[in-house]
Amino acid sequence: MKKFYTLFFVLGISLSALAQTQNITFQVDMNGVSGFTTPEVNGTFNGWCGNCAAMTDANGDNIWEIVIALAPGFYEYKFSHDNWGGQETLVPGSTCTMTTGQYTNRTLTVGNADITLDPVCWGSCQICGQNSGPYLITFQVDMSLSGATFTTPEINGTFNNWCGGCAPMLDADGNNIWELSISLSPGSYEYKFAYDTWSGQEELTEGTPCTISAGGFTNRLLTVTENDTLPVVCWGSCAACIDFVSQSDENQMLVFPNPADATLHLQGLNAAVQSAVCTNITGQTVVLTVNQGEVNIQNLNSGIYTLSVTDANGKVTRTTFVKN
């Protein structure tokens, strides 16, 4: 009797474990792929075992499939063929993948229900026949408030291995707004603007909406899903540059020099002003003392600031670049 209960207990555990797995249907479209006999699925769930999970094509439409029972959890996998005789090459940063070191694999999260995955095209996150890129992305940067002495701005990012001067920008109409169009596959990328083969680069503020910070670096973040012309952004900012001379007020106050590194001079005020409010691109403000039309800015970090002062004619706002 004791042996019977022990056997029943073990059998109960096995049935319970089996009941927790879900049937996952993998499908890959091999139309347009040649030089293979049998596709297979390799992943963390089978130890990347080679041809132990061979796929079948019952109806001969060249869409191959296999059903694998998996426990809930997170997995990496990819399609290959003929016991690793060939494997798909996936684009880092694409929507269905993750990259660790030199390996880019598909990802799968299994919950508490069966899943039938879409019949994706070999080497793609998309169904065959859908537009899977590459897409044309136009980058634009306004250098008018950069305060830099430069020859040619450039784009450096994960899509060109931060290569320096390999992606120079152009300013065809001479308005100091530089642009460049680059073909990119769908996915997420980090990048930033620099100039003259990394002679200078923009300093981005951690936590601003267009950026991502990791490993001590703050870069711009871009997700590519279609052709796109990105908005014109000010060097070092997520927003467009604000005109230096506002056209919305009658007060002709001048703020100079621009850029400034120690003292700002205010000229054209209609009454004595004792303080001014500086606001950076993240909305943080600091009140500065105005002494005979001069503002000490030595304690400000480099960046673009909006300077607001109030005199007899009301509030006056100007934008300036601080380079400390």
117-175 tens-digit pLDDT: 999 999 888 888 776 667 889 999 999 888 889 999 999 999 999 999 999 999 999 99
* Residue whose tokens read 């070191």: 101
pLDDT value at position 88?
Answer: 93
The residue out of 96, 121, 146 marking a domain boundary is: 121
Q: For residue 9, is it within any domain?
A: yes
Mean of pLDDT values over 46-64:
96
Q: Is 79 helix (H, G, I), strand (E, B) or coil?
A: strand
Cα–Cα distance measured from residue 85 to residue 37, given in angstroms and rounded to the nearest whole number: 10
DSSP letters for 52-100:
TTB-B-TTSSSEEEEEEEE-SEEEEEEEEETTTTEE--PPTT-TTEEEE
**Tell me, what's the pLDDT at 146?**
84
If asked whether residues 97 and 72 sit together in one domain, one would say yes
| Residues 109, 6 share a domain | yes
Instruction: Tokens 């039309």: give the residue.
Output: 293
Residues in the chain: 324
Q: Residues 141, 77: one domain?
A: no
Flag whether 246 is in a domain.
no
Q: How many domains does the chain have?
A: 3
Cβ distance 74 to 107 under 8 Å? yes
Residue 247 domain-assigned? no
Do 7 and 101 lie in one domain? The reply is: yes
CATH number for position 314: 2.60.40
239-251 mean pLDDT: 54
Are 74 and 152 part of one and the same domain? no
* DSSP sequence for 212-223: EEETTEEEEEEE
Following CA atoms 308, 309, 312, 314 in sequence, which dihedral angle do they give, to the nearest 10 degrees?
Answer: 20
Single-letter code of the amino acid located at 308: S
Reported as a pLDDT band with limits 50, 70 and 90, residue 242 is low
Are residue 205 and residue 100 in the same domain, yes or no?
no
Predicted confidence band of residue 19 (pLDDT cuts 50, 70, 90):
low
DSSP assigned state of 101:
T
121, 152, 178 - which closes a domain? 121
Residue 5 has pLDDT above 80, yes or no: no
The span from the CA of 28 to the CA of 57, in Å, is: 10
The answer as to whether 243 is a domain residue is no
pLDDT classification of 266: cutoffs 50, 70, 90: confident
- Asked if 217 and 144 sit in the same domain, the reply is yes
Strand 73-81 with 103-110, pairing: antiparallel
Q: Let me know whether 18 and 110 are in one domain.
A: yes
Each residue of 25-59: b (16+ CB within 10 Å) or e?
Answer: ebbbbbeebeeeeebbbbbebbeeeebebbbeeee
CB 97 within 8 A of CB 53: no
The per-residue pLDDT of the chain, averaged, comes to 84
Q: Which of 121, 151, 180 is the last residue of a domain?
A: 121
Signed CA dihedral, 125, 130, 132, 137: sign only: negative
pTM listed for this prediction = 0.46
In a domain, 126, yes or no: no
Q: Is residue 99 part of a domain?
A: yes
Q: Using CA atoms, how far apart are residues 71 and 291, in angstroms rounded to an integer?
A: 71
Pair 76, 12 in one domain: yes
Range of 284's domain? 254-322
Model confidence at 2: pLDDT above 60: no
**110: nearest Cα among 88, 80, 63, 77:** 77
Q: Are residues 144 and 117 in the same domain?
A: no
* 127 domain residue, yes or no: no
What's the CATH number where 30 sits?
A: 2.60.40.10
Is residue 276 included in any domain, yes or no? Answer: yes
Residues 115 and 13 in one domain: yes
The answer on 117 and 177 residing in a single domain is: no
Return the top range by mean pLDDT from 39-53, 201-215, 231-245: 39-53
Q: How confident is the model at residue 16 (pLDDT cuts 50, 70, 90)?
A: very low
Distance between CA atoms of residues 173 and 232, nearest Å: 15
- Please report, rounded to a whole number, the percentage of residues in the chain having pLDDT higher than 70: 88
